[in-house]
Every structure is written in structure tokens, then in C-alpha cells.
Amino acid sequence: MKRKIKWGIIGIIIIGISFGLYKIGNPPRQTEFVSDSQPITFQVTNETIANTVEVKGKSLYEQETLIYAPYGSEVKQWAVEDGQQVKKGDILFNLDQTAVQNDILQMEAVLRKGKLEAELNDYLNQLNDESAAMESTEEARKKVLVEREIARLSKDVNEVTASIQAKELQQKKKMLNESSFRSPATGIFLFDNPNKRPQALTVNEYVGKVVDLNKLQFIALVGEQDVFRIKAGMPVKVKMNAMKELNLSGKVLKVSKFAKTGTDQNNLNQAAQFEVVIVLEPNDYLIAGLSLSGAIETERKENAISVPSIAIIREKDKHFVMLDTGNGQYERKEIKIGLETPEQTEVLEGLKPGDQVVLQ
């Protein structure tokens, strides 16, 4: 009896161990939940598509008229302050006229003297010609001919000298008229050194400039990969770093045909940079020296059939979309594309407005 009980217990233990090993080796299957993800759908539409080139640079005054001293002299009076608004023709400064007036008097005296000497020489030459007619010897006639030729050459030299002196006199008189120096343009006058107004000037010394605040330019640099895409007259949307909410506009005035000095000279591996000049529309907040950024519109298509660029499948030189044919069915369709931007792509063939394409 005890023996049967013993073997019964052993059998139960063996059955339990076997069942446990079976459960470990064959865990219960978990229920799988399959969620049907819906594809993202885009509609083919008619849109305006534009390509742009992003540029950065500074604002500068378009028109700056530089002022130079007409001659060297003391400054008798400054008639303008730094930053003052001036009109064309307003007196900026008055120079001392004494030295120029003395030069003019001396030159006029020299010219008068030369004129009198020329008249006297003409009279003497006339007398010599009359006396030569009475000479009978060959030697005397030769002497008269030599003197006549010398007199002619001297007269030519004196006439050239007198002409040069007359031009110098006119230049001095012009300088005298500029002693009260008038502004050549309308704008704001700025001294070369705003903290110092010189009391004396040398000839052609730089004094300052007159700038037109209403005309500013946006000077930017572009790389060689973009320079051939930009043409004069292209519209530009401009942003000011200091006031990002302010929308400004302009147009490309010119594109340099030469690389900026230094960008391609020192390092052969460095990409060349080219200067682009953009004319800005007037704005009360625009002044010179501001940091600006712009988007130059290089291409534009109105009413173009387009799809989001993200929906296009690219394989080598071919382009495809997944066209929604209805009832959950999709067709892989080849298309021909035109203008591309990061957001939209023009479709030339293969789709029409209203079609649905999907991104799976």
C-alpha cells in the first residue's frame, strides 16, 4: 500500500514537471492588433510656383556725391553742419580769395606784356622787311631772311605760351568763382571727420560727401552656382535683420561679371563670390549700414499644374506618383515635371487638376 502511494506521488510530480516544461516551451499566443494606416492624400492644383536665390548683405546709399576742395586756402567760413540737409546750390563753405586774386592779377599782367611785345615785334619786323628791300648784296638779303624766320618762330612760340597762360588764367578765375563752394547735389552733408572742421584745405583735399537718403542699395554676394541665374530687373523680397516683421522690396540693378577681389586669389579651393546690386524701394526705416537678407525671384510660373514635391518618386531620370484611382486602389503613374521648388513641383504631363495622389 505504501509502495503504491509512493509511486503515485512520484507520478504526479513527473506529470507536473512535464506540464510546466510544456507551458514554458509553448507560451500562449498574444492577440495581434493590426491598424490600417491611412495614406496621406494630396490634390493636384493650379498654383503660382517661383524659384528664388537667397542672399545676404548690407544697405548702402545709392548716390553719394564726394566733395573736394577746389584749391588750397584758409576756410573763411563753414556754412553747413555735419548731418545738415542741403539743396543743390547751397553754399557749403567759403575759401579765402586773396592768393587766387593775386595770381589772376599777375597772369593778366603777363598776358598784357606779351601782347604788347608781340605788337612791337611785328612793327620791327615790318621795318626790317622794308629795309631789306633796299639791300643790294646777297649776304644782306640772306641775313634778312634768317632774321625773318627767327622772328616767325619766336612769334609762334609766344602765341603758344600766351594760349597756355590764357587757359591757366581761366582756370584761376574758375577757382575764384568756387571760393564760395556750392553743393553739387541735394541730400545730407556729412564731414569726412564729423568731430573736426578743418580751418585750412589743400587743393583737391577730401572734405566730405552729400548723400541722398531716399535712394539706397542692397549690396549682396552670391556664389558661382547662382550668379548665372540672376538677371537685372528680377524682383527681390527683402527682410531687415533688425525688424524681421517689416517687408521690403527691390529689384536687381546689376550683377558683377568679375569675382570679388580676394575670394578666388588666395585659395584655389575657395568658391568665387560675385557682387549683386539691388535697388530698394523707399522706406522710413531704411538707412545705410543695415544687415539685410533677400529672396531674388529667378523663375515664376502662373497657374501651373502642381503637386507637393514630397509626393514625387524619383528614379534616375524618371518621376512617378501614386495616383488614387478610387476604392482604395492606387496606380503608379509616370509624370513629366517642369519647374521645381522645395515645396511644389510643376507637372507638365501625366496629371490634371483635381487628381489625387498619395504618399504611402
Kindly report the three-state secondary structure assignment for every residue of the chain: CHHHHHHHHHHHHHHHHHHHHHHHHCCCCCCCCCCCCCCEEEECEEEEEEEEEEEEEEEEECCEEEEECCCCEEEEEECCCCCEEECCCCEEEEECCHHHHHHHHHHHHHHHHHHHHHHHHHHHHHHHHHHHCCCCCHHHHHHHHHHHHHHHHHHHHHHHHHHHHHHHHHHHHHHHHCCEEECCCCEEEEECCCCCCCCEECCCCEEEEEECCCCEEEEEEEECCCHHHCCCCCEEEEEECCEEEEEEEEEEEEEEEEECCCCCCCCCCCCCEEEEEEEECCCCCCCCCCEEEEEEEEEEEEEEEEEEHHHCEEECCEEEEEEEEECCEEEEEEEEEEEECCCEEEEEECCCCCCEEEEC
Give dist(CA 85, CA 80) in Å, integer: 9
- Which residue matches cell numbers 487638376? 353
Fold of 53-62+213-299: Elongation Factor Tu (Ef-tu); domain 3 (2.40.30)
Give dist(CA 6, CA 15) in Å, integer: 14
195-232 per-position pLDDT tens digit: 888 888 898 999 999 998 888 999 999 998 899 999 99
Find all residues with CB under 8 Å of 243, minimum gap 6, and list them.
Answer: 285
Q: What is the mean pLDDT of residues 344-359?
A: 91
Find all residues with CB under 8 Å of 275, minimum gap 6, and list them.
Answer: 219, 220, 221, 255, 256, 260
Q: Which region among 12-16, 18-22, 267-271 has the lowest average model confidence (pLDDT)? A: 18-22
Q: Are 204 and 69 in contact (CB under 8 A)?
A: yes
Tell me the β-bridge partners of 339.
none
pLDDT higher than threshold 70 for residue 11 = no
Give dist(CA 177, CA 139) in Å, integer: 57
Strand-by-strand arrangement of the 180-182 sheet: 180-182, 91-95, 73-78, 200-201
29 falls in which pLDDT band (50, 70, 90)?
A: very low
Q: pLDDT higher for 330 or 4? A: 330
Q: Are 306 and 297 in contact (CB under 8 A)?
A: no
Report pLDDT for 127.
Answer: 61
Nearest to 116 by CA among 162, 172, 160, 149: 162
Angle between helices 138-177 and 98-132 (to 10 degrees): 160
At the second CATH level, the architecture of 64-91+184-212 is Beta Barrel (2.40)
How far, in Å, are 118, 153, 167, 289, 346 from residue 160 at the CA level? 12, 11, 11, 53, 75
Write the single-letter amino acid at 202. Answer: T
pLDDT higher than threshold 50 for residue 31 = no
Give dist(CA 251, CA 53) in Å, integer: 13
Q: What is the mean pLDDT of residues 155-171?
A: 72
Report pLDDT for 345.
Answer: 92
Q: Residue ranges per domain, the chain?
A: 41-50+301-359, 53-62+213-299, 64-91+184-212, 97-178
Report pLDDT for 305.
Answer: 93
Give dist(CA 166, CA 176) in Å, integer: 15
* Number of other CB atoms surrounding residue 275 within 10 Å: 17
pTM: 0.59
Give dist(CA 218, CA 238) in Å, integer: 9
51-80 per-position pLDDT tens digit: 999 999 999 988 889 999 988 888 899 999
Q: What is the mean pLDDT of residues 150-177?
A: 72
Q: Are 227 and 274 in contact (CB under 8 A)?
A: yes
Q: Output the nine-digit C-alpha cell for 302.
A: 502662373
Q: Which region among 12-21, 110-119, 249-258, 275-284 has the lowest average model confidence (pLDDT)? A: 12-21
Nearest to 78 by CA among 190, 177, 198: 198
pLDDT higher than threshold 70 for residue 344 = yes
Q: What CATH class is the domain 41-50+301-359?
A: mainly beta
